[in-house]
């Protein structure tokens, strides 16, 4: 069964303090790794899809990278509006089922 582990569970940063979130996965035949952002009381918002080791994608202050066993979401000079829960999910095997991690709650203080 596919598994996704995200760390840390919670992360507090000062505005401008860069850091990284980790997503470790075990999957039978990775078809894609997805990053989502979820604000309180809202649905997950799609950020990135990564398909193969070595791939990188960027969007504003966020950069996602992928290796054969984990993915990192790097946040550069975060702002308070980056505060949210960041979810990682993998699509593996032949059943097209997305398996989510439990998320990292990021708080950026002004």
Partner 1 sequence: DTAVSQTPKYLVTQMGNDKSIKCEQNLGHDTMYWYKQDSKKFLKIMFSYNNKELIINETVPNRFSPKSPDKAHLNLHINSLELGDSAVYFCASSQEEGYEQYFGPGTRLTVT
4 backbone dihedrals φ, ψ, rounded to 5°: -135, 125
Quick count: other Cβ atoms within 10 Å of Cβ 73? 22
- Taking the least distance from each CB to partner 1, the nearer of 11 and 98 is 98
Position 93 contacts partner 1 (CB under 8 A): no
Among 1, 29, 68, 95, indicate the residue that binds partner 1 (CB under 8 A).
95
DSSP E strands in the chain: the ranges are 3-7, 10-14, 19-26, 30-38, 45-50, 56-59, 62-66, 70-75, 84-92, 98-100, 104-109
Position 1 contacts partner 1 (CB under 8 A): no
Candidates 12-20, 40-48, 54-62, 68-76; binding stretch for partner 1 (CB under 8 A)? 40-48
The binding site for partner 1 (CB under 8 A) comprises 31-32, 34, 36, 41-46, 49, 85, 87, 91, 95-100, 102-103
């Amino acid at each position: 069964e596919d598994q996704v582990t995200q760390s840390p569970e919670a992360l507090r940063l000062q505005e401008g303090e860069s850091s990284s979130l980790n997503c470790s996965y075990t999957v039978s035949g990775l078809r894609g790794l997805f990053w989502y952002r979820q604000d309180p009381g809202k649905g997950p918002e799609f950020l990135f899809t990564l398909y193969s080791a070595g791939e990188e994608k960027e969007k504003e202050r966020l950069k996602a990278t992928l290796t054969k066993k984990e993915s990192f979401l790097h946040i550069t000079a975060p702002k308070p509006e980056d505060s949210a829960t960041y979810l990682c999910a993998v699509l593996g095997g032949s059943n097209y089922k997305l398996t989510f991690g439990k998320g990292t709650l990021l708080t950026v203080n002004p």
